[in-house]
Structures are given as C-alpha cells and as structure tokens.
Chain A
Amino acid sequence: MLAYFASLDPMALLRACPGGIAQGLIWGIMALGVYFTFRILDIADLSVDGSFATGGAVSIMLILAGWDPLLTLIIAFIAGMIAGYITGLLHTKLGIPAILAGILTQISLYSINLNIMGKANQAINVGKINLIFTSNIDHLGRTIIVTAFCCLVLVALSYCYLGTEHGCAFRATGNNGAMSRALGINTDRMKVIGLALSNGIVALSGGMLAQYQGFADVNMGRGAIVIGLAAVIIGEVIGELILGKRMNYFFRLLFAILGGVIYYLVYVFVLWLKFPANDMKLLTAIVVAVFLGVPYIRKMSKSSFRHAGNMAKKEGGKD
C-alpha cells in the first residue's frame, strides 16, 4: 500500500493537467454537439461515434494531401453534417427508430472511414506541419487558449441560434412535436437539421483531436457518445450546483464544455492513480449510468410501491 502511494508522483499529475484540459476542451466541443440531439431534440444519436472518427479521418487525409489544417476542419464539419443528414433521413423518411438509425450510420461510417484513410490508422508528421491544435508541449498553452476561444465562439453562436425563430422552433420540436406541427413547424425537417448540425460539430471536434494527437484512427470514435453524454451530464450537475435556477442556455452549453474538461481531468487523475487504461470505458459507462440513474432513483424513492407498502405498515401499526 505504502509502496503504491510512494510510487505516485504529484509532479507527473501536474504535468499531465494541461494536456487533460486541452483534450477536455476538444471533447467539450463534441459534448456541445451531443447536447443538441440528446438534450434539445431528445434523441440519443449514436452516429456520433462514426462521425467523430470521420472528422479525424477527413482532416488527417487532407493534411497529408497538403491542405491547410484549419481548412480541413471545415471539410470535416461538412462531412459530419452529411453523416447526420443520413441519420436524419433514415429516421424521418424511412421511419427507423432514431437510435437504430444512428447505429446504422455509425456502422456504415466505419467502412467509409476505412475507405477515406485506406487503412485503420494514419499519422501526420507533427514536426513538419504548422498545427494550431497541437499537443507539442512548447505550444500547449497556445493550443489551450485557442481551443477555449473556439469553444466560447461555438457556445455564443449556438446560444444566439437557440434564441432565433428557427432555434425556438428547433427547441419546440424536441419538447412537443404535436404542438410544433400544429404551429406549422416541419418537425421532420427540424430533426434532420439538428442531427446534421450536431454531427457536424462532433466531426469538427474529431478533426481537432486528430490534429492534436497527430493521427486519426478508425476506432477513435468508439464510445464517443458515452463520453459526450458524460460531459453533458457532469456539466449539468455542476451547473445546477453553482447557478441553480439561473442556468440559461448560455450556461447550459458552457457547462457541457466544462463537463468535458472535468471529465478529462478526472480521466487524467484516474490514470495517474494507475487505473488500467483498458478499463476507462467501463468506468465512463458506470459514471454515465449513475448520473442518469440517480435522479430517477431519487424520484422513485419518494413514490415507489415499496415506499407505499412501508407507509401502510406504519399506519397499520398505529391502529
């Protein structure tokens, strides 16, 4: 036990933090995309696992072809939008349940990503290319600042959008479809737009992460939806704690990104504790299950049959 604690190096943790923050911010952008579908449209969109890797693949392959790294991110965004658009069509035009439509897109993107990259993994020469989003320790500070700025811009843009007529109709679609249609909103089209936008943002963050780590991998998106959900939920819990009822959409979106950062700092910390990296996805899933389950359990503990039974027994004892 003592040997275990002695083997932990506090400085190593400190050194790992900036990288954790940078990755957390990038995953936070992914969480922003997940927020659009999961929280606003009320759809758990599994296509993001595929579109995240698509973003990375597109960005890396275009950089290898000599494109400007920033420009590749725009193409990654568009590629993600197309993926989301397909999910939307599968869901609205073919009547496939949203969750299954997402799985179909995700699995087809696996093949498409392999086709884009030609093999399972493609790396760029990070030393030779001028990358904005880089894990190069000399420029890590800049990476964090630029990524944080991108996050702020995205949050501000999303917040403004949600306040527009179109954005209000988008929120209404997820909140009450019957009402939305009665008020003339084409809910199917709204869902398609939302899924496209969400996957575009996810692919953008996939592209950023690929540049950050210097390679794209066909498996880089595996479990991305769970990490995105974890970030959204962690952000919500912490946001509620700090702001309570003052949580407006700006803070909701901001805290989704902060949720990503917190997730990654915890990730770094747990790895520092020498938790096996192979088990991290299991841990993430457990965290998400607990955070999703606790509000439900809490509600049920107040009104459950067992509770009613216990109360009845107590009452019976009095007579």
Chain B
Amino acid sequence: MLDVQHISKTFNAGTINEKKAVIDLSLHLNPGDFVTVIGGNGAGKSTLLNAIAGTWPVDSGRIVIDDVDVTALPDFKRAPLIGRVFQDPMLGTAPDMWLEENLALALRRGQSRGLKWGIKKEERELFREKLATLGLGLEDRMTTKVGLLSGGQRQAVTLLMASLKQPKLLLLDEHTAALDPATAAKVLELSDQIVTENNLTTLMITHNMKDAIAIGNRLIMMHQGRIILDIAGDEKKNLTVKNLLDKFSAKAGVEEETDSVLLS
C-alpha cells in the first residue's frame, strides 16, 4: 500500500545548521497495516511523515502509495490518497467555518471542486450520523464555528475528516500530544475505532511507548534518521516498555541512554 524506497532528506544542506533528518530510509506497509512510529526528538519521525505527505520534496528516493508514484507530487496532489491529522489541533480544521462546512470540504478531499453547492442535503444526514459515532454531542452543533470547539473536539473532528472519504493511507502525527491525558486517551480510542472499522492503512507517530505497544500490528523505532527496530505480529503483542527500551539500548548503543529517558 505504501512503499518508501531509500529516501533521504537533509535540511539546511551546506550550512552550519545542516541536519540529515532522514537517511536512506525504506519502509513497506501492507494494506491494513497499522504501524506506530516511536523515537526520540530529532529521530526523523515527523520528517518521514512529512515526506510521505508531500510537505516538501525528498532529496533522493521514491515514494509509492497504492501503486501511484507520488515522489514528484506536492501535498495537495497527494491528497486523494492521504488522510492527515496534525499534532496541532488548530491545523486540521478551518476555525471560522461551520462544522458541517469543514466536513463537506473533507468529503471532497482530492476531488475537483466546481460550482455545485458546497454541501448537499443528504450529506448533512451522513455528517450527523458520523458525528454521533464520536460520542461528543457534536451532531447537534453542525452550524457551530469549529473555532469554538475545544482542542480535543477539534482533533476528533479532524480524525473524522481524514477518514470521511476513505484514504489509502492515514497519517497521524503525534495527534494526541497536545491534549490532556483524558482527552488524549479518548482521541486515541477513536483513532483505533476509526482505523479498525474502515480497515485503514495507518502510520501513527507517538511519544508514548505504551500507546505504541498497545495499538496497531507493527511498531517501528527511529533513531538518527534511520529505522532501527521493526517489530510486528506476536513479537509486538508480547512487547513491554522494559524490553523495548532494552532493545533500543542494544541497537543504539549505551551512549544513547539519555534518549531512552526522553522516550519513556
């Protein structure tokens, strides 16, 4: 479903701030894979996600999503294939537009937008139904400006928007990091529910090792721009934070002990 082949990305190349964010990285996701990505600060997690989303072009390598080579396409041209939830709850929704208008925009993700009405009557029914599944009472607030909703509500809405038109690939970029623990747990549960129901191929970055272990069928750990651990199946099911940290230390070397503190 997703095929990342030997991509590299260096920021500020040739300057004193040069940062090799991702180095010769390859990753293959099968349809229905739910992969969690962990790693310390600067490990290259977000760079990987942004490379796949098309925020900027990669320096080398190839990215294929659902048999479409998207390497040369900017973010908005990859939109038909990708659903996205950002770390910042403010980024995923248009604050001055109504809830139903936001959803209508999302329903047309990647389609050409003409001079037909922006929302159809039957779509409102669909939105009401879908909002009800969030269990936040938002189905009665369809003409509320999204900016008036809380961060958690907005993140839940963004999640719904990302999956409203079924994406080939769902990208979740630390989407619970900016929320309080209770709300984060709720949004995470919703994510799991939406991914499972729609059988979405998903790549989720998280800072929380417990979440990374509990959710999904595969876990990868990044370090200094490379994937250093890739654990799937039964091995992942039996994983604990303790032995994940041990594996990390073994791979990254003892001198990286400080990073493991960052992770836990």
Contact = CB atoms under 8 A, between A and B. Distances in A.
Interface of A: 161, 163-169, 171-172, 175-176, 178-187
Contact of A166 (B77, B82, B94, B115): B115
B95 interface: yes
A165 B79 contact: no
Contacts of A163: 117-118
Tell which of A163, A176, A182, A187 has the most Cβ of chain B within 10 Å.
A182
A181 B161 CA distance: 13
Contacts of A166: 113-115
B80 A165 contact: no
Nearest to A171: B97
B81 to A, nearest CB: 10
Contacts of A165: 108, 113-118
Given A179-B94, A186-B76, A167 B118 contact: yes
A163 B109 CA distance: 17
Contact of A169 (B53, B86, B96, B105): B105
B203 to A, nearest CB: 15
Given A171-B97, A176-B94, A178-B86, A183 B118 contact: no
B96 A175 contact: yes
A161 to B, nearest CB: 8
A166 B111 CA distance: 11
Contacts of A164: 113-118
Nearest to A167: B118
A166 B91 CA distance: 21
Given A172-B105, A186-B76, A179 B92 contact: yes
Given A168-B97, A176-B93, 18 more contacts: A164-B117, A165-B114, A168-B118, A168-B119, A169-B113, A175-B95, A176-B94, A179-B93, A181-B79, A182-B53, A182-B75, A182-B109, A183-B105, A183-B108, A183-B109, A183-B110, A184-B77, A185-B105
A211 B96 CA distance: 38
Contact of B97 (A161, A172, A178): A172
B226 interface: no
Interface in B81-136: 82, 84, 86, 91-97, 101, 104-106, 108-111, 113-119
A172 B91 CA distance: 12
Contact of A184 (B92, B95, B104, B109): B109
B138 to A, nearest CB: 18
A179 B91 contact: yes
Interface string B9-24: 0000000000000000
A295 to B, nearest CB: 15
A186 B79 CA distance: 10
Interface string B54-76: 00000000000000000000111
Contacts of A168: 97, 101, 104-105, 113, 118-119
8 contacts: A164-B115, A164-B116, A168-B104, A168-B119, A175-B95, A183-B161, A184-B111, A185-B113
Nearest to A168: B118
A143 to B, nearest CB: 32
Given A164-B118, A172-B105, A183 B93 contact: no
A184 B76 contact: yes
Contacts of B96: 171, 175
Contacts of B53: 182
A176 B115 CA distance: 21
Nearest to B90: A176
Contacts of A167: 118
Contacts of B113: 164-166, 168-169, 185
B161 to A, nearest CB: 8
B237 to A, nearest CB: 33
Given A166-B113, A169-B105, A172-B97, A183 B79 contact: yes
A161 B117 CA distance: 9
A183 B106 contact: yes
Q: Which of A166, A167, A168, A184 has most B Cβ within 10 Å?
A: A184
